[in-house]
Amino acid sequence: MSTFKFYVAVEPDFSSANSATRDARFEEVEEERDDDDDDDDDDDDDDDDDDDVDDDDEEEEEDGRGDIFFLSCHTNGCAITKKAANSSPWTEDNKVGTAVRGAPALIAFNSYAAILTSTFGVDHATLITGYDLRSTNLQSDILGVAYTFGVCSEEPSSLVEESFTEQTANTLAHEIGHSLGLPHDGDGNACSEDDFFIMAPSNALPTTLDKASNPWTFSTCSVDVMASFLAISSNRSLVLVVVVVVVVVVVVVVVVVVVVVVVVVVG
């Protein structure tokens, strides 16, 4: 396998427990829109005919907040499509209030991921949800869940909670790492969880500048396990390509999530 194909389903559910962060983002966008409107007041009289909006369009735009945006990422490009909110049974069927049982939702989503794998050759599929992910008994809060060694297998999927911060990117990379067979740093290896690399067991951020970039980087232990898992330990260049592809996908997902939020607010 010389290239990776990732499929990312972004499900921005707005009943999320992260509502405070989400609403703050909305307020920032609304303030920017108000500032833009003030700057354009002189042109309003000329554009009166363009201000009429069909009521059906307004209702359709409001309903759009529950839509799911699917991002299919390959090494040669990306494609975005839009689907109705009821197209996400994986979380809806495992929802309790605003919480979702992570493991059952992952199992359900994996059935869809298996179709992507057999039909489109996707190596890994991730669902990003705005719901609050929880353990099966709902007692523990979790950020994400994935099948270990799931890439290129019958379990090529992961589930990530949208935090409406850059932390989502870290969690996404972390779960993809598990799918590549990576254990946590400090779990039977020489790398320390206190260095805050992507595969650290917690999402705590470093407090010193020398480790500031570590949450966006795989440790040497992780890279070594990738090499072993891919059975290409003699070809480090391909391992580096895999790392770069994962990082690029993470960056693209962050950009798309921001765009989706802005589109929903502006709409």
Q: What is the pLDDT of residues 113-136, one digit of tens each?
A: 888 777 777 788 888 888 889 988
Per-residue tokens: 127: 């669902």
Residue 67: what pLDDT?
46
Residue 31: what pLDDT?
62
Q: Is 174 among the annotated ligand-binding positions?
A: yes
pLDDT tens sequence across 90-109: 888 888 888 899 999 999 99
Catalytic residue among 59, 61, 175, 193: 175
pLDDT tens sequence across 219-242: 999 988 887 877 653 444 455 556
**Which residues, at least 6 apart from 109, have a Cβ–Cβ distance to it below 8 Å?**
9, 90, 125, 127, 157, 159
Per-residue tokens: 267: 């709409």
Q: Mark the ranges of the chain whose per-residue pLDDT is less than 50.
A: 1-2, 14-17, 48-77, 79, 233-237, 262-263
What is the pTM for the complete model shown? 0.66
**Phi, psi at residue 36, to the nearest 5°?**
-65, -40
Rg of the chain on CA atoms, in Å: 20
Residue 114: what pLDDT?
82
Q: Is 124 among the annotated ligand-binding positions?
A: no
Residue 97: what pLDDT?
84
Active site residue 175: yes
Residue 62: what pLDDT?
39
